[in-house]
Structure 1
């Protein structure tokens, strides 16, 4: 069974119905640790040793966050700057993250049509999240495309919120239990694109 670390970062989580639903859907799963960065570090004084130990003790690292300004909330950048040290995360002696799975679970205001070359935002989610892919490569991790819930500015219906939360839970359980086709998923635009095809039956 794989152990999964969710680095959860939302500075206004009380106002986010979808992020609360995603988090609640996986919080009780065996093998899953939710690390709420804003609750843990309200002053941004990140305990580097604690965070590195958490990463070392898990097989999968997920960054769950809203897609603020085509990027992440500030604390995730601070986390990267401090935790991903040379000699630990990368470099000739930096092997702590080698072989671990990593991906983002993000929520975006615009719907999928806006994240296209001809759409309002002009760039795809894959293009806009490419720094995370490059970081994974530098740290010798196995990168996967994001699990992305789109169009959240239009107040998702309760049924859609629940469906996305259930998909998030199914994804985590499949990854945890080695029932997820990682190779095929790496070729998908998003992890929740045709999710049923990526999950193997028990």
Structure 2
């Protein structure tokens, strides 16, 4: 069985709390996951499309891991999607390299889950905000899976919001790996 490719798109992973911890947990399972840091691999923003396509082809499933930035993904991940998912490779009459691969998102959202709802502060769910990823997966005939999410890292204690504990963060990392292993 091939491994799962986890593409991490965090512009400042060294100062991350959630994404860095998730990455560290994934790295404890080198036989199961290949961890690929986009910002480390392409600090100049010039993506090697052939290399990236070969990397995807060498893996069974695909995970996009990132923090929500302005209700979207970080810019290098968007560029990766635009550059790598080419006609004739990912879609079109001969484009089938992602067909039937399981694809999921693993995202950290700074605000609380209740804020991502029709009645919440932003009036859209995270599922709605991530719908372009689901549509992209469907377009390339991949098998889109539910998103793994950690909410509430950027809480405001002055407003009575409770900051996630170290245990919450540790448990999220363990649960993340468990989720990905069960996704297969």
Bin for the TM-score computed over the shorter chain = over 0.9
Question: Alignment partner of 1:70: what SS?
Answer: coil
Aligned equivalents of 1:137 and 1:172: distance in 2?
Answer: 19
Aligned-partner SS, 1:153? coil
Q: 1:161 maps to which residue?
A: 169
Q: In the alignment, does 2:27 pair up with 1:27?
A: yes
Q: Distance in 1 between matches of 2:67 and 2:19?
A: 8
Shift of 1:2: 4.2
The CA distance in 1 between the partners of 2:134 and 2:18, in whole Å, is 24
Unaligned ranges ≥5, structure 1: 179-202
Compute the TM-score of the two structures, normalised by the length of structure 1: 0.84
- 1:149-173 alpha-carbon deviations (Å, 9 max, x no partner): 0001024210100110110121233
| Unaligned segments of structure 2, at least 5 residues | 156-162
**Structure 1 position 17, deviation (Å):** 1.1
CA distance in 1, matches of 2:40, 2:81: 17
Residue in 1 aligned with 2:104?
103
Query: How many residue pairs align between the two structures?
Result: 176
What SS class does the counterpart of residue 156 from structure 1 fall into? coil
Contact 2:7 2:65 (8 Å CA) reproduced = yes
Matched, 1:170 2:178: yes
- Counterpart of 2:127 in structure 1 is 126
TM-score by length of 2: 0.92
- 1:25 is paired with a residue of what secondary structure? helix
In structure 2, C-alpha distance between the alignment counterparts of 1:2 and 1:118, rounded to whole Å: 42
Two-structure CA RMSD over aligned residues (Å): 1.0
The CA distance in 2 between the partners of 1:28 and 1:51, in whole Å, is: 23
